[in-house]
């Protein structure tokens, strides 16, 4: 079993966590964003990661991979205790994938791309060290391509922050009931929330060198500090179950 991924990708973190949670052995294949496309397209329809290769069966996308793992490796299930719980967990995953994932990516990159020395080690994490220097040399082009491809600018970053404000309020309220999003236990809903929101609380187990928060751009640093109380339960879930 091989997992093709970016170290920095929070969608890849979803799958890494699920594989580890189920105690499945796999070979991580860390790719450099941008140069990965040709390799991935030889295996899958698009160029996105994560991609799982299980004995030649290719599964692309974090939700699709988690579904595959649940069907083929049902031990330590992440789907909940019954059909209703499974439906609720899947609904949370879908919403967080559609809203939280893109919003964090847009918002974080808008500010981090302004700090090449901070973001280059994150983009190249777990790949050969020379990639860091090559990326720094061509960073102006990297910045241009990423902003154009993901439509990143101040307007979209502000909109993404509003989306995250709303989601964090809703998640905080949902966690007040039992400490978990679905029923009374850990499911793929919690795994998705904690994985996708991880860049906001920067856990140690995430395989990238997080930047010194004191040196982040002021709007990013201030907003992250402000939101830590709303992230407390999600961060705790990461510590407890990752």
Domain 83-241 CATH class label: mainly alpha
Kindly tell me if the per-residue pLDDT of 81 is higher than 90. Answer: no
- The domain limits of the chain are 2-72, 83-241
Kindly tell me if the per-residue pLDDT of 171 is higher than 90. Answer: yes
Report residue 169 as tokens. 């309020």
Sign of CA dihedral 129, 201, 150, 117: negative
Domain 2-72 CATH class label: alpha beta
CB 30 within 8 A of CB 5: yes
On whether the pTM is more than 0.85, the answer is yes
How distant, in Å, are the alpha carbons of 25, 76, 86 from that of 109? 32, 34, 33
Q: Which of 229, 228, 204, 224 has its CA nearest to residue 214? A: 224
Question: What does the pLDDT average to over 51-68?
Answer: 98
Q: Is the peptide bond before 186 cis (omega within 30 degrees of 0)?
A: no
* Percentage of residues of the chain with pLDDT beyond 90: 93
CB 118 within 8 A of CB 202: no
Q: Could you tell me the pLDDT band of residue 238, with boundaries at 50, 70 and 90?
A: very high
pLDDT tens, position by position, 115-144 = 999 999 999 999 999 999 999 999 999 999
């Amino acid at each position: 079993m091989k997992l093709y991924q970016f170290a920095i990708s929070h969608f890849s973190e979803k799958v890494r966590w699920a594989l580890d949670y189920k105690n499945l052995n796999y070979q991580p294949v860390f790719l450099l964003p941008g140069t990965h496309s040709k390799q991935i397209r030889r295996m899958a329809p698009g160029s996105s990661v994560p991609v799982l290769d299980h004995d030649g069966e290719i599964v692309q996308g974090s939700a699709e991979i988690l579904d595959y793992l649940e069907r083929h490796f049902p031990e330590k299930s992440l789907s909940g205790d019954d059909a209703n719980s499974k439906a609720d967990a899947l609904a949370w995953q879908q919403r967080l994938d559609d809203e939280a994932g893109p919003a964090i990516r847009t918002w974080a990159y808008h500010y981090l791309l302004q700090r090449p020395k901070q973001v280059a080690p994150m983009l190249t994490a777990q790949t050969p060290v020379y990639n860091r220097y090559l990326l720094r040399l061509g960073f102006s082009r990297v910045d241009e391509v990423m902003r154009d491809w993901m439509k990143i600018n101040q307007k979209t970053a502000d909109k993404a922050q509003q989306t995250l404000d709303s989601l964090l309020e809703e998640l905080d309220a949902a966690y007040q009931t039992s400490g978990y999003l679905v029923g009374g236990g850990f499911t793929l809903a919690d795994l998705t929330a904690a994985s996708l929101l991880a860049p906001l609380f920067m856990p140690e187990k995430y395989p990238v060198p997080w930047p010194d928060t004191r040196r982040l751009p002021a709007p990013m640093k201030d907003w992250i500090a402000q939101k830590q109380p709303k992230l407390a339960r999600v961060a705790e879930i990461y510590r407890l179950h990752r």
